[in-house]
Amino acid sequence: MEQTMFNPNMESISASDQEKMEKTLLLDQIEYVYGHSKMYQDKFAKAGITKDKICDVQDLALLPFTTKKELRNSQKKLAPFGDFLATSVEKVNRVHRTSGTTGSFIYTALTKQDLDLTHNCGARAFWAGGLRPHHRVIHCLNYCMWMGGYTDHANLETTGATVIPFGVGNSKQLIQVIKDAGINAISSTPSYPKHLEKVIKDEFDMDPIELGLKLGLFGGEPGLENPVYRKRMETTWGMKAQNANYGVSDVLCNFASVCLDNYKLHFLGQGALLLQLIDPLTLKDIPITQGAVGEMVLTHLKKEAQPLVRYQTSDLMEILETGPCECGRTGFRFRIVGRVDDMLHVKGINVFPNGIAMVLEDIVPEVTGEFQIIIDHPSPYTSLDIKVEHGAHITPDKMMDLKLKIENKIKETLNFRGIVELVKPDSIERTKMGKARRVIRNY
């Protein structure tokens, strides 16, 4: 009988057992933080909260939040790891750093115990997405200190699969390796295969489906939650495209994936993370129930090097389902609505880049799907200026009709006015991982 879960004890844990486990682990973690983290000792003392006041999960609401700005400031003050390092430097086994796309980067330190738990949670996610020991998976994320490179590589290896560490760049060589090495799975961002399609056609005179990939494990950016985008990728490549790699790099690399029965992200960080929701405006806790929407707040349960308490992630999450999934996993299912700092208010309407992305995906190849919202003044907004890459075959005489089509679809679907400027394909700058910044603030 096939093993359907990587860690059944955690992935199928009952609600009552999870509650007991989280209480025990949380109290131990709080004791550890009070005793070893200078940053939290100072924060808690300033808030007037002693450790004896934290007796249950609900008592976390008494403690102050932690923000990314605090972590950056801590590491500027005490380089490189900050005064939230709660172990000796000698116990640190690996160091990563965040991408720094929204500000200066953060160094993330991990001990052997931290790494073991990280790899276990990551393997749960990749296994849920369909990865098995018989797969040969080529890993195409940036290895240059980013958590998604080497740590995700180790997460993939933990499943027992054969992992080929390719990284990013040299797409022609990548295609040749896939052809030569009998590779049947790929790990990358969801936008990367679109980039590879042109290379396959121009350099090899092949269609992507001829490469024989059967499984795609994607993460690091939105896209696959749109069924139109997913279906086009699966048809083009002949592989199952799985949203299998959601995490917060400065907290835990990967703790969520879809399963083979349900295309909703499953929370798979049991025993490692305590996840809470808060109202992003009032900062009050929101119960995790079906339909709830709030900012995701994370607390480590078994972290040695840099334990974080009540960390505001800026990710807005919607709870889609609670209770057991048909796959047997008991973690709630969710979707990421967008980033709190990317949420724009246009005449009373909350607008997220993800919504615009889904509108544009419906009209590919008239557009490439890439766009940027250009903001030149603080809110309030009555409309948004949006740069959109037109498709390669759109001629000048078709531009005005396409512009109006996009503006009308945005109005009909998202209920706000977008003023579209069409630009050439590939003219919007991407990062090395093929990602584009969606909101540009020029003020």
Each of the 443 residues of the chain gets a pLDDT tens digit; together they read 789 999 999 999 999 999 999 999 999 999 999 999 999 999 999 999 998 999 999 999 999 999 999 999 999 999 999 999 999 999 999 999 986 655 578 999 999 999 999 999 999 999 999 999 999 999 999 898 888 899 999 999 999 999 999 998 899 999 999 999 999 999 999 989 988 999 999 999 999 999 999 999 999 888 888 888 899 999 999 999 999 999 998 999 999 999 999 999 999 999 999 999 999 889 999 999 999 999 999 999 999 999 999 999 999 999 999 999 999 999 999 999 888 888 888 988 888 888 898 899 889 999 999 999 999 988 889 999 999 999 999 999 999 999 999 999 999 999 999 999 999 998 998 755 456 678 899 88
Which residues 6+ apart lie within 8 Å of 371 measured at CB? 353, 356, 357, 360, 386, 387, 388, 389, 428, 436, 438
Give the number of other Cβ atoms within 10 Å of residue 50's Cβ. 10
Distance CA 276, CA 142 (A): 30
Question: Apex CA 87: angle with CA 86 and CA 90, to 5°?
Answer: 150
Distance CA 50, CA 185 (A): 50
Distance CA 51, CA 110 (A): 25
E-assigned strand segments in 380-417: 384-390
| pTM given for the model | 0.87
